[in-house]
Amino acid sequence: MATAPRARLADIAAQAGVSEATVSRVLNDRAGVAEGTREAVLTALDVLGYERPVRLRQHSAGLIGLIVPELDNPIFPAFAQVIESALAHHGYTPVLCTQTPGGVREDEYTQMLTERGVAGIVFVSGLHADTSADPGRYVALRRRGLPIVLVNGFVEGLDAPFVSNDDVTSMDLAVNHLVAQGHRRIGLALGPRQFVPVIRKIDGFRQAMLRHLGQTDVDELIECSLFSVEGGAAAAHRLIDAGCTGVVCGSDLMALGAIRAVRDRGLDVPADVSVIGYDDSPLIAFTDPPLTTVRQSVQAMGAAAVRALLDDIHGNARAGARGGHRAFAPRTEYLFRPELVVRGSTGSVPAEAPPSE
């Protein structure tokens, strides 16, 4: 096996523009060397292909677990990229754990991460978003003193920071846009009802339909399916049968399914049915037609999640050094205002509602 070349003081000194004695002091991590000179010597090592002495290597501040759902939905890789980048910027090493159907589950990942001594864990759209799941798993982590942050979900009474998109405002933006285009029969296509974001979207949809159209009985305009292209298509078919000329979807993937359903009926988007997505996933602006969607503030939300986690980690570290109680960050839910991005999948209400089958 090849070994790294032995560092020659003369070569390093020549590359850095310093004396051999200075190189020796830097390599032995001795005092009396200006920071700029020290960096020049270390850079010379890198340029010449020499390994830095172990004592001079930059060590990670620690491991941080990042647990996300499957990566088929492009919004989750987007969150992962932002959070991983922010963690690395602060000297932490992110450990990405991706769930897949039939694969490793969230609890198994959590156990693996805690066994490896992670400094904290960020959960994105995890079991904290499922009202049918036992929140005790998170309570147990907090009792052990492990800092955690939960993105897009909420557990009442849990001593941890939450970072969420404002789903109620999202629905108001979407409904208001369609109403302004003349639509009066607006449907909502969502995933399973036990998820917190779904519950909040339904609440926001009801409020928006009452505020903008004076409609109170909207149950037949709400269809819950799966957060997938197929789920969006199935929900859209039922909403079109109910006479909807506008469909608001709970994800961009569902919106793509809704567009497919409209076209399967020989109809057009947006001439016959307008479709609004949710997330503003990467590349969604390049669909046919380009998708009008509610944009989550992924960059700001990811940065806030990392900031809240590091505040907790550093608070715990300072308290531990003092031998006192842990200094927790304020416990609250940080809600981020979404933005409606108008593109080509929405337009004026058709002269006549599309025929139902």
Q: Give the model's pLDDT for residue 2.
A: 42
Nearest-CA neighbor of 56 among 85, 84, 24, 94? 24
Q: Is the pTM above the cut of 0.85?
A: no
Max intra-chain CA distance, the chain: 87
Q: What tens-digit pLDDT sequence spans the chain (357 residues)?
A: 444 445 688 889 998 999 999 998 888 888 888 878 888 888 888 778 787 776 665 555 689 999 999 888 899 999 999 999 999 888 899 999 998 878 889 999 999 999 999 999 999 999 999 999 999 999 999 999 999 999 999 999 999 999 999 999 999 999 999 999 999 999 999 999 999 999 999 999 999 999 999 999 999 999 999 999 999 999 999 999 999 999 999 999 999 999 999 999 999 999 999 999 999 998 888 999 999 999 999 999 999 999 999 999 988 644 444 443 344 444 679 999 999 999 999 999 987 655 544
- Could you give the CA distance from residue 42 to residue 46 in angstroms, rounded to a whole number? 6
DSSP 268-293: -TTTT-EEEEEE--TTGGGSSSPPEE
| Of the candidates 211, 345, 321, the residue with the CA atom closest to the CA atom of residue 270 | 345
Per the CB < 8 A criterion, the answer to whether 292 and 345 are in contact is yes
Half-sphere exposure of 234 (CA within 13 A, CB side): 11
CA quadruple 290, 75, 298, 293: dihedral sign? positive
Dist. CA 328–CA 161, nearest whole Å: 10
189-to-3, 254, 277, 286, 291 alpha-carbon distances in Å? 60, 8, 10, 22, 15
pLDDT at position 48:
81
Q: What 3-state DSSP class applies to 197? A: helix
Please give the domain boundaries of the chain with CATH numbers for all domains. Answer: 9-56 (1.10.260.40), 62-165+298-336 (3.40.50.2300), 167-296 (3.40.50.2300)
Q: What is the DSSP string of 63-103?
A: EEEEEE--TTSTHHHHHHHHHHHHHHHTTEEEEEEE--TTS
Query: Which pLDDT belongs to residue 179?
Result: 98
